Chain A
Amino acid sequence: MNRRVGALFAAALSLAALAAVRGNGGGPPLYDGLCTPPNYALLGSNPEPSPTSSPYSATDLATTQELATPPQIAPQAQIILGSGTLSPAPGASAVTLTIAPVKPPAIKPDGAIDGNVYDFEATSGGKPVEAAADHPVTIALEATAAGGPALTIEHLEGNRWAPLKTFQSGCGSTFDAAAPSLGLFALVARGASTPGPAGGGSGPSILLIVVAVLVVLALVIAAARTTRLRR
């Protein structure tokens, strides 16, 4: 087989392996660049995380809309609405979308909540409106720190927190999920009593692994060269 064709075939196999490791988007994110450090504002801290609200006309809602808080570099909570997901109530001209950090409700999830609980609401003509059937909304929540455990976005449904299929993106601190309706959402470290350690993989054990592998690689290459020279 031609060397280059073989290499392209091997590249395709590597891509397939990568897809398997990514697990249909459920695995760690692929991004390898410079991250924006999370600067998370917890409810009750100073400065307080602020709610955000925006009106959308029927014309606006015919296209994809995004709302985030805070609206700067690293939003802590964000919602994406596809076209036709929300419509103004009869007699109303707009839908007002609100994202607000709220105190955790009395009902506890099966794990520790990471960051704030966020309330995503839509009102029109003074009454709540819901997402259209078969038009899920995308909820994105930021973790309090990068490099912590994998978290799940949960949605308060009645008297229980329901986990949503969650995708980790960006530097690993952003989590996305499609939700069938609006309401309360939170990031949860399932089964944990605390959100768990954060701070990337720069712990001493990781650094020891890095040093050990690099030393072994250098020694193996050097030994192979020495053996070759002796021959």
Chain B
Amino acid sequence: MILAHSARAQSAPTLVIAVGFASLTRAAIGGAAPASAVPAAVAFSAILVAAAMWAGARFTRIPWPGVALGIGAATALVGLSLVGLPAVRVGPRTVASVLLWWAPLVAVVAAAEELVPRGVLFGALRDRRGDAVAVAVTAVLFAVIHLPLYGLPSLAIDLCVGLFLGCLRVASGGVAAPLVAHVLADLATGWLG
């Protein structure tokens, strides 16, 4: 498990630029449908993982309490995504051939999104400005990088999700909880839609 710790606390502006660069690269490669483009998702993840490594993310043992909190949080997010739907519909991504590439890639993209915003960047901001600023800035960043994928209607949703995952980061003391919550929620809501 990667503990995205900020070894370079002074790198926050650079990390914001790196996240922005990753997001704009995804939009540029993806063209009219960036959320559907596999090469765009791969490039996006690679840039974010490189930024996390540059900023000092390192491997450590698995923080099980954080993982457990993340599973609970994912359950809440998935439950919320199903509210109101007339029926739970297992989506088209259960086909084995799709799962082989879709599930790992979705997991990698979600994990990369957590490693920088709520990993190394969060650590850098919190060390200097405290939890509240770190949660607020990373939530805004999280919402903004999803604009090219889903447009303005998703802004409020992603802002709320960003705040939620940031609070998990504070409550658990590490990136494992938001990372697990994000990965599981994306996989489950993808399967169910």
Interface residues of A (CB under 8 A from B): 3-4, 7-8, 10-11, 14-15, 17-19, 21-22, 24-37, 64, 66, 72-75, 78, 80, 82, 136, 138, 140, 146-147, 150, 167, 169-172, 174, 176-178, 199-202, 206-207, 209-211, 213-215, 217-219, 221-222, 224-225, 228
State the Cβ distance, A4 to closest chain B Cβ, in Å: 5
- Residues of B contacting A221 with CB < 8 Å? 12-13, 16, 125, 137
With contact pairs A200-B33, A225-B128 given, residues A176 and B89 touching in the complex (Cβ less than 8 Å): yes
Q: Which of A10, A24, A150, A217 contacts B167 (CB 8 A)?
A: A10
Beyond known contacts A32-B189, A78-B89: 12 more, CB 8 A cutoff: A3-B131, A7-B168, A10-B135, A15-B80, A30-B81, A32-B158, A36-B36, A36-B92, A73-B92, A207-B27, A213-B140, A222-B13
With contact pairs A22-B157, A35-B36, A201-B152 given, residues A30 and B146 touching in the complex (Cβ less than 8 Å): no
- Residues of A contacting B85 with CB < 8 Å? 25, 167, 169, 176
Interface residues of B (CB under 8 A from A): 10, 12-13, 16-17, 19-20, 23-24, 27, 30-36, 38, 41, 73, 76-77, 80-87, 89-93, 95, 98, 102, 105-106, 109-110, 125, 128-129, 131, 135, 137, 140-141, 144-154, 156-158, 160-161, 163-164, 167-168, 170-173, 182, 185-187, 189-190, 192-193
With contact pairs A3-B170, A147-B151, A201-B150 given, residues A25 and B89 touching in the complex (Cβ less than 8 Å): no
- Residues of B contacting A167 with CB < 8 Å? 84-86
Rounded to whole angstroms, the CA-CA distance of A167 and B85 in the bound complex is: 6
State the Cβ distance, B177 to closest chain A Cβ, in Å: 10
- Residues of A contacting B160 with CB < 8 Å? 14-15, 17-18, 21
Interface of B is mostly: helix
- Residues of B contacting A225 with CB < 8 Å? 10, 12-13, 128
State the Cβ distance, A126 to closest chain B Cβ, in Å: 29
State the Cβ distance, A30 to closest chain B Cβ, in Å: 4
Closest to B102 in A: A34
With contact pairs A8-B171, A21-B157 given, residues A207 and B148 touching in the complex (Cβ less than 8 Å): yes
7 A-B pairs with C-beta separation under 8 A: A18-B160, A30-B189, A32-B185, A33-B190, A35-B35, A169-B85, A200-B33
With contact pairs A74-B92, A202-B27, A207-B148 given, residues A22 and B80 touching in the complex (Cβ less than 8 Å): yes
Q: Which of A25, A169, A217 contacts B140 (CB 8 A)?
A: A217
Q: Which of A11, A73, A209 contacts B171 (CB 8 A)?
A: A11
Q: How many A-B residue pairs have CB under 8 A?
A: 240
With contact pairs A36-B36, A200-B34 given, residues A218 and B89 touching in the complex (Cβ less than 8 Å): no
- Residues of B contacting A219 with CB < 8 Å? 13
State the Cβ distance, A134 to closest chain B Cβ, in Å: 14
- Residues of A contacting B168 with CB < 8 Å? 7, 11
Rounded to whole angstroms, the CA-CA distance of A66 and B149 in the bound complex is: 30
A177 pairs with B131, CB closer than 8 A: no
Closest to A206 in B: B147
- Residues of B contacting A140 with CB < 8 Å? 89
A33 pairs with B110, CB closer than 8 A: yes
Closest to B178 in A: A11
Rounded to whole angstroms, the CA-CA distance of A120 and B21 in the bound complex is: 47
- Residues of B contacting A14 with CB < 8 Å? 160-161, 163-164, 167
